[in-house]
A and B are shown apart, each in its own frame.
Chain A
């Protein structure tokens, strides 16, 4: 309805001088541009952190390898983990939330556009600071460059005595700053969803994506607050001579673990709930059915968010907690499986009896369902404290959480790319390249992370830079490294697809998937003001109502 008014805008933009275009992107407060900045920033860091992972897999492909030194290996796993969580996964999640939430709730922008820009640039600045450590981490001491403390930076590794120079400072300040950016974006997401919905969109008529992002943003406060506090304490220790984590002065190394994981475990759900959101939007459209059990999906998400706040110490079973502590955290961790299982059944219930269309977004979502299920099952295995004592800090754990983050979150994000790229760019992603990307990545993912469980079960600890031959680990590590190569090729196909399709992809039109939520009612890409006339909705699927006036949803909801 609003697509005619703005057809001229793209052609006018492309003819302007490059400096002006860049200037526009830097000063922008438009939620769509900031969303794409977030996503572009995340893709850049995805490639960087992927290269770091590749370096580690080359090093571990054969025993006694000398591809990198032990010091470099430590830096690689620290930077890979930190980058992937804080500067790939978080910006991807925030980028899609930024782009999609206002469009899906029929708003013209986020509640606080300038706060939005501030938040993005804080995140970007944090990422640049972290990577500046490669140059600046030397300081005056001539020691180290990038941080080598692991992504959870346990005390006393971060103490001045064990981390001379400035590498740890870049790590902590970078995360503190990007954490403030995350809090800013979370404030924005909640204020946007609560205060900017179009007429008629009561909370029970919001798209599930908006609901899930609301829960995610609420969790950001409860997770990022503690992380920021812990980082401030670390800065006090390192710069002002504080004693928080100095065990010789009565401080506690374990309390850092608590503070970090009070952030760290909700963080997993902060990342996976938006992936749930993508799947909850894509699966119905490609099954040609409304989502099954909408209220239960919302309730299950809120339940996951709530329970996940009290599971953090399952990362710390081997520290030696009292038995009631172990029992509590084992039980709460297992409890998360119930609402998560409900969600998986609901997605299957949505597909059940539907007219399935296996376009690339749907392929990624189906793979997500299987892989996230397995990731959850190994999670339940690890939640049993005695089992955890045996396998904590082994490659089994590494395989488990990569199954969650790659097999779950990243597959959901890839689905989102194929589904919403036409809206963002006005062009379809190439379907053939998409299928190549999908199958190469599925093969690479399973080669790497299925077989990574086995050396863990055989006793291979994480974070070792090499290993002795003859322990039965060689063949598994080789398979894992070969899988990494497949994944790298798949990512290259994906990036190639993004570039090629952005230039000469098939024009998408406003609604290429015959979908039902408001973002498909405006042109692709949407004009700066999103909607010429703010929409009014009467059901959860406003475009279904518009396309089928004889049988609208609001008669049944």
Chain B
């Protein structure tokens, strides 16, 4: 997008190729999307096929707060990445930390929900088909949030050690691509599990 304003005009055509980090991450996202698609299809297929309770309508509550947290973490990681690209390292660290905090809140919220479902309603992965599909799909997503948080925390550690500067902006952007994907998957999971499924 900034090529228009470039004052340089090379005499011979410059050979430019896409960033391999971004291409690699988009490929990983494609493969992950394949995995999630199958779990979502299984969830939709098995809605209403449980032969025993509890049923989703009886036990599921809309996780509005943690959903807002997770989705806004997409915005904060974007702000963090932009800050790093402009060389504002402290702002990057602040927004990066906020992203991790929001992700943690989401995970804790999921943990609370699971605790409630298991101990208050007796719903486990082997109770009925709802349990099997619910814990698999939400669990697969939470696993991806966890992996993302580990990666974000690794960057945070390096950032606090003063190792992350403007030169790493592109790598940070690759990681935030993954985080955006995890958030986008949550939109699908939320719709399927809490809206359609309930």
Residues of A within 8 A of B (CB): 111-112, 115, 183, 186-188, 190-192, 194-197, 199-200, 217-218, 220-226, 228-230, 232-233, 236-237, 240-244, 249-252, 255, 259, 262
Given contacts A229-B35, A240-B126, A250-B50, contact A187 B42 (CB under 8 A): no
Q: Which of B25-33, B70-78, B98-106, B144-152 contacts A (4 or more CB under 8 A)?
A: B25-33
Asked whether, in the complex, the Cβ of A229 is within 8 Å of the Cβ of B27, the reply is no
Q: Does B37 contact A (CB under 8 A)?
A: yes
A374 to B87, CA, bound (A): 63
Asked whether, in the complex, the Cβ of B31 is within 8 Å of the Cβ of A225, the reply is yes
Q: Give the contacting residue for B20; candidates A195, A199, A232; CB below 8 A.
A: A195
A466 to chain B, nearest CB (A): 38
- 20 residue pairs from A and B, CB less than 8 Å apart: A186-B31, A187-B27, A187-B28, A190-B27, A192-B20, A194-B20, A195-B17, A195-B18, A221-B27, A225-B35, A228-B35, A229-B35, A229-B37, A229-B42, A240-B125, A249-B50, A250-B128, A250-B129, A251-B129, A252-B46
- Known pairs A187-B27, A191-B27, A226-B35; list 11 more (Cβ under 8 Å): A225-B30, A225-B37, A229-B35, A236-B125, A237-B132, A241-B125, A242-B126, A250-B46, A251-B46, A251-B129, A252-B45
A237 to chain B, nearest CB (A): 8
| CB closest chain-B residue, reference A244 | B132
Asked whether, in the complex, the Cβ of B15 is within 8 Å of the Cβ of A196, the reply is no
Given contacts A236-B125, A242-B126, contact A225 B24 (CB under 8 A): no
Asked whether, in the complex, the Cβ of A112 is within 8 Å of the Cβ of B50, the reply is no
A453 to B15, CA, bound (A): 54
A217 to B17, CA, bound (A): 19
Q: Give the contacting residue for A221; candidates B18, B31, B140; CB below 8 A.
A: B31
Q: Does B68 contact A (CB under 8 A)?
A: no
Asked whether, in the complex, the Cβ of A226 is within 8 Å of the Cβ of B20, the reply is no
Q: Give the contacting residue for A222; candidates B28, B34, B42, B140; CB below 8 A.
A: B34
Asked whether, in the complex, the Cβ of A232 is within 8 Å of the Cβ of B136, the reply is yes
| CB closest chain-B residue, reference A224 | B31
Q: Does B49 contact A (CB under 8 A)?
A: yes
- Which B1-43 residues sit within 8 Å CB-CB of chain A? 15, 17-20, 23-24, 27-28, 30-39, 42
A218 to B23, CA, bound (A): 12
Chain B: residues with Cβ within 8 Å of the partner, total of 34
A199 to B50, CA, bound (A): 59
A532 to B34, CA, bound (A): 40
B134 to chain A, nearest CB (A): 11
Given contacts A240-B125, A241-B126, contact A224 B34 (CB under 8 A): yes
Asked whether, in the complex, the Cβ of B125 is within 8 Å of the Cβ of A112, the reply is no
A503 to B37, CA, bound (A): 50
Q: Which residues of B contact A200 (CB under 8 A)?
A: 15
Q: Which residues of B contact A192 (CB under 8 A)?
A: 20
Q: Give the contacting residue for B24; candidates A187, A242, A259; CB below 8 A.
A: A187
A338 to chain B, nearest CB (A): 26
Asked whether, in the complex, the Cβ of B132 is within 8 Å of the Cβ of A186, the reply is no
Q: Which residues of A contact B15 (CB under 8 A)?
A: 199-200
Asked whether, in the complex, the Cβ of A196 is within 8 Å of the Cβ of B17, the reply is yes
Q: Which residues of A contact B34 (CB under 8 A)?
A: 221-226, 228-229
| CB closest chain-B residue, reference A229 | B38
Asked whether, in the complex, the Cβ of B20 is within 8 Å of the Cβ of A243, the reply is no
A411 to chain B, nearest CB (A): 30
Q: Which residues of A contact B23 (CB under 8 A)?
A: 111, 190-191, 194-195
A226 to B133, CA, bound (A): 15
Asked whether, in the complex, the Cβ of B32 is within 8 Å of the Cβ of A191, the reply is no
Asked whether, in the complex, the Cβ of A197 is within 8 Å of the Cβ of B129, the reply is no
Chain A proximity mask over B85-99: 1 for CB below 8 Å, otherwise 0: 000000000000000
Asked whether, in the complex, the Cβ of B24 is within 8 Å of the Cβ of A111, the reply is yes
Asked whether, in the complex, the Cβ of A233 is within 8 Å of the Cβ of B136, the reply is yes
Q: Give the contacting residue for B38; candidates A226, A240, A249; CB below 8 A.
A: A226
Query: Which A-B residue pairs are the 4 nearest by beta carbons?
Result: A225-B34, A241-B126, A229-B38, A195-B20
Given contacts A183-B31, A236-B125, contact A111 B20 (CB under 8 A): yes
| CB closest chain-B residue, reference A217 | B27
B52 to chain A, nearest CB (A): 8
Q: Does B51 contact A (CB under 8 A)?
A: yes
Q: Which residues of A contact B20 (CB under 8 A)?
A: 111-112, 191-192, 194-196
B34 to chain A, nearest CB (A): 2
Asked whether, in the complex, the Cβ of A259 is within 8 Å of the Cβ of B132, the reply is no
A196 to B126, CA, bound (A): 48
B3 to chain A, nearest CB (A): 18
| CB closest chain-B residue, reference A259 | B38
| CB closest chain-A residue, reference B38 | A229
Asked whether, in the complex, the Cβ of B136 is within 8 Å of the Cβ of A194, the reply is no
Given contacts A194-B17, A236-B136, contact A255 B42 (CB under 8 A): yes
B44 to chain A, nearest CB (A): 11
A445 to chain B, nearest CB (A): 34
| CB closest chain-B residue, reference A195 | B20
Asked whether, in the complex, the Cβ of B136 is within 8 Å of the Cβ of A243, the reply is no
| CB closest chain-A residue, reference B48 | A250
Asked whether, in the complex, the Cβ of B132 is within 8 Å of the Cβ of A243, the reply is yes
Q: Which residues of A contact B136 (CB under 8 A)?
A: 232-233, 236, 242, 244
Given contacts A229-B35, A241-B126, contact A255 B45 (CB under 8 A): yes
A228 to B129, CA, bound (A): 20
Q: Which residues of A contact B128 (CB under 8 A)?
A: 243, 249-250
Q: Which residues of B contact A244 (CB under 8 A)?
A: 42, 46, 129, 132-133, 136
Q: Which residues of A contact B35 (CB under 8 A)?
A: 225-226, 228-229, 232
| CB closest chain-B residue, reference A226 | B38
A232 to B17, CA, bound (A): 36
Q: Which residues of B contact A240 (CB under 8 A)?
A: 125-126
A226 to B32, CA, bound (A): 9
A230 to B27, CA, bound (A): 20
Q: Which residues of B contact A183 (CB under 8 A)?
A: 28, 31
Asked whether, in the complex, the Cβ of B38 is within 8 Å of the Cβ of A194, the reply is no
Chain A proximity mask over B122-145: 1 for CB below 8 Å, otherwise 0: 001110110011001000100000
Given contacts A195-B20, A225-B35, A226-B35, contact A249 B51 (CB under 8 A): yes
A236 to B139, CA, bound (A): 11
Q: Which residues of B contact A224 (CB under 8 A)?
A: 31, 34
A220 to B19, CA, bound (A): 21
A252 to B51, CA, bound (A): 13
A197 to B37, CA, bound (A): 32
